[in-house]
């Protein structure tokens, strides 16, 4: 009798654990899908087509709107905290700026090209003659908004 009871409890516990893990995974995948819609992930090839062509000597910004490039990694806690903020900003400033992200683990060459040694590293790229600006460290939405206005949208 005790063996049947233990087996039944083990089976029920396993079902709850399986259901919980399966459900959590679904929510995580659903969340990731939602947060990746407006921030565009770049690899070396797309970076060379949309931002800077690193195969030529003279770098010239290729976009027609100001841009933010978030140098990030999946294991970086501060990077993960600012990801939803950048997603919100991409929605709010849609049509005015473009927000990209580069996974430094997948794109080590891009990280090296921009001397990224600490993350999150945020590259602000204005249009026109203004120079790009690299910042390092986490920030809140208000700080991002301030930097967008002063570094990218100020005329």
For 43-64, letters b (16+ CB in 10 Å) and e give ebeebbebbbeeeeeeeebeee
d(CA 88, CA 117): 26
Q: Classify 22 as helix, strand or coil.
A: helix
- DSSP string for 78-99: HHHHHHHHHHHHHHHTBTTBEE
Alpha carbon 29 to chain centroid, angstroms: 15
* Catalytic member of 42, 68, 69, 76: 76
Contact 119, 104 (CB under 8 A): yes
Catalytic site includes residue 21 = no
d(CA 67, CA 151): 10
* Catalytic member of 39, 79, 86, 151: 79
Q: Catalytic positions, please? A: 76, 79
């Amino acid at each position: 009798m005790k063996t049947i009871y233990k087996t039944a409890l083990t089976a029920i516990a396993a079902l709850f654990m399986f259901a919980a893990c399966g459900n959590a995974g679904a929510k995580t995948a659903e969340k990731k899908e939602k947060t990746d819609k407006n921030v565009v992930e770049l690899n070396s090839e797309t970076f060379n087509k949309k931002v800077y062509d690193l195969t030529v000597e003279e770098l010239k910004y290729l976009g027609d709107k100001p841009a933010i490039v978030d140098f990030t990694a999946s294991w970086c806690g501060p990077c993960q905290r600012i990801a939803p903020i950048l997603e919100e900003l991409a929605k709010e400033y849609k049509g005015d700026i473009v927000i990209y992200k580069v996974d430094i683990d997948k794109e080590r060459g891009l990280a090296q090209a921009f001397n990224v040694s600490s993350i999150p590293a945020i590259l602000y790229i204005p249009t026109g003659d203004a120079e790009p600006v690299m910042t390092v460290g986490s920030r809140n939405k208000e700080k991002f908004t301030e930097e967008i206005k002063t570094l990218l949208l100020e005329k």
